[in-house]
C-alpha cells in the first residue's frame, strides 16, 4: 500500500460526489489532465478520436460457437472479440446447458486468435486464473462484481496488460475512480473504464435488471482523460433496446463499446435475452459508423 504525504486522507466529510480534495489527494493519477490513449495494437487504440468495438458472446460456450462468431466479426472488420471462459454468475447454480469452459475455453480463444488475428478480452475472476489468461488475453476485464476486489486489481495491474474496469452496478463514480486509482498506483496506466448499468428503482421493463447510466459517461469524460467505454448489453439486458443505447453512448462521448452477440440468441447458454443476432449486430455497426463521424470519432 502506498502512503501519500497529503493533508486530506481522512473521511472527515464523506461524500458521494467528487470534491476538489478528492481530485488532489485521493484521485491524483486517474484525474491527471493528460490524455491517455490505450494502445492494444497498431490499429486498435482507445482514444479521443477512435472507438474500438468489442463484440462476442457472453461465455465461450464451445469451440464451434466461438469460431463461428469470430469469422463473422472478422468479416465485418471487428478486431476485438470477447467471451469469458471463467464466468461470475449471480446465482451459484448453473443450467445443465452451460458449463464454464475454463482453461479449455482459453485454448479455443487461442486458436481463434491465431486463425483470425483478432485480439481477445476475457474476464479475470480470480487471481488463480491470471497465469492462464496472460497466455491468451490482450485485455483483461475486471467485472462489475469485482470492481473493488483490491488484490485482484493489484495483480491485474502488475500484468501490464490493458485493463477494462467495469463499474459495479451500485457504485458511485467516486468509488469507481478509487478502484481505478488502485490500478494506476501499481504502475499500469493502460486503463479503460466501462459503464455497464446501475441498479435503479425503475428500469422500465421487468427483464431489464440495470439502467445504462449515460450521464456517467458524460460525467467521467469531464473528470478524467482515460478512455471510457459503454456496455449497453449488460445494462439493459434486453436486445431490442441495445441499438439505441449504443447510439446514445456514442452521442455521450464513449471511447469504445462492448456489444454482446450470438448466432442464436435464444439458445445462448447465459442471458439469452441480451445478445444481438448477426444481422442485428451488422445493422448496429453500419449506423454506428455513420453516427460516430458526427462526433469526430472513427470506429476501429
11-70 residues near Mn ion, rule: CB under 5 A: 58
Question: Using the rule CB under 6 A, is 209 a contact of ligand PEP?
Answer: no
Q: Between 58 and 249, whose beta carbon lies closer to Mn ion?
A: 58
196 binds, among Mn ion, ligand PEP, none (CB under 5 to 8 A by kind): ligand PEP
What is the smallest separation between the CB atom of 233 and ligand PEP, expressed in angstroms?
8
- Listed ranges 40-48, 62-70, 139-147, 274-282: which one lies at the site for ligand PEP (CB under 6 A): 139-147
Among 79, 132, 166, 221, binds ligand PEP (CB under 6 A): 166
Report the alpha-carbon distance of residue 207 to residue 35 in Å, rounded. Answer: 38
Report the alpha-carbon distance of residue 66 to residue 63 in Å, rounded. Answer: 5
Question: Using the rule CB under 6 A, is 221 a contact of ligand PEP?
Answer: no
Grid look-up 468509488 returns 175
What is the rounded end-to-end Cα distance, in angstroms, of the chain?
A: 37
Cα dihedral 190→196→200→204 (10° resolution)? 160
Q: Is residue 219 helix, strand or coil?
A: helix
Q: Between 58 and 125, whose beta carbon lies closer to Mn ion?
A: 58
What is the smallest separation between the CB atom of 271 and Mn ion, expressed in angstroms?
6
Report the alpha-carbon distance of residue 184 to residue 153 in Å, rounded. Answer: 10
The alpha carbons of the chain give a radius of gyration, in whole angstroms, of 18
Q: Helix crossing, 102-116 with 63-75: angle to 10°?
A: 30
- Listed ranges 43-51, 100-108, 137-145, 285-293: which one lies at the site for ligand PEP (CB under 6 A): 137-145
Q: What does the per-residue mask of binding to ligand PEP show for 77-106, with x meaning CB under 6 A?
A: -------x---x------------------
What are phi and psi for residue 298, nearest 5 degrees? -120, 130
Please give the distance of CA 176 from its chain centroid, rounded to a whole number: 13
Q: Between 74 and 145, whose beta carbon lies closer to ligand PEP?
A: 145
Cα dihedral 151→21→175→248 (10° resolution)? -130
Instruction: Count interface residues toward ligand PEP (CB under 6 A).
Output: 9
Question: Using the rule CB under 6 A, is 268 a contact of ligand PEP?
Answer: no
Q: Tell me which residues touch ligand PEP (CB under 6 A).
A: 58, 84, 88, 143-145, 166, 196, 234
Q: Tell me which residues touch Mn ion (CB under 5 A).
A: 58
Amino acid at each position: 500500500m502506498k502512503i501519500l504525504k497529503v493533508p486530506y486522507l481522512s473521511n472527515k466529510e464523506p461524500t458521494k460526489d467528487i470534491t476538489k480534495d478528492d481530485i488532489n489527494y485521493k484521485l491524483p493519477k486517474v484525474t491527471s489532465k493528460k490524455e491517455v490513449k490505450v494502445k492494444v495494437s497498431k490499429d486498435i487504440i482507445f482514444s479521443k478520436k477512435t472507438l474500438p468495438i468489442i463484440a462476442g458472446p457472453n461465455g465461450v460456450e464451445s469451440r464451434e460457437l466461438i469460431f463461428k462468431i469470430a469469422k463473422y466479426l472478422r468479416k465485418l472488420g471487428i478486431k476485438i472479440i470477447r467471451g469469458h471462459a471463467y464466468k461470475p454468475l449471480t446465482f451459484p447454480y448453473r443450467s445443465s446447458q452451460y458449463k464454464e469452459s475454463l482453461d479449455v475455453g482459453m485454448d479455443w480463444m487461442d486458436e481463434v486468435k491465431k486463425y483470425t488475428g483478432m485480439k481477445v478480452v476475457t474476464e479475470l475472476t480470480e487471481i488463480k486464473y491470471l497465469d492462464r489468461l496472460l497466455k491468451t488475453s490482450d485485455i483483461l476485464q475486471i467485472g462489475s462484481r469485482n470492481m473493488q476486489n483490491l488484490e485482484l486489481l493489484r495483480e491485474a495491474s502488475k500484468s501490464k496488460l490493458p485493463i477494462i474496469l467495469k463499474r459495479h452496478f451500485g457504485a458511485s463514480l467516486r468509488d469507481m475512480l478509487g478502484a481505478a486509482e488502485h490500478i494506476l498506483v501499481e504502475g499500469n496506466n493502460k486503463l479503460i473504464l466501462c459503464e455497464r448499468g446501475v441498479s435503479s428503482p425503475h428500469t422500465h421493463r421487468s427483464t431489464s435488471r440495470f439502467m445504462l447510466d449515460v450521464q456517467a459517461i458524460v460525467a467521467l469524460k469531464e473528470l478524467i482523460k482515460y478512455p471510457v467505454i459503454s456496455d449497453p448489453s449488460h445494462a439493459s439486458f434486453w436486445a431490442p433496446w441495445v441499438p439505441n443505447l449504443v447510439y446514445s453512448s456514442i452521442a455521450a462521448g464513449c471511447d469504445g463499446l462492448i456489444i454482446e452477440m450470438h448466432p442464436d440468441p435464444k439458445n445462448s447458454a447465459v442471458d439469452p435475452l441480451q445478445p444481438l443476432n448477426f444481422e442485428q449486430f451488422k445493422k448496429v455497426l453500419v449506423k454506428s459508423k455513420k453516427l460516430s463521424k458526427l462526433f469526430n470519432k472513427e470506429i476501429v
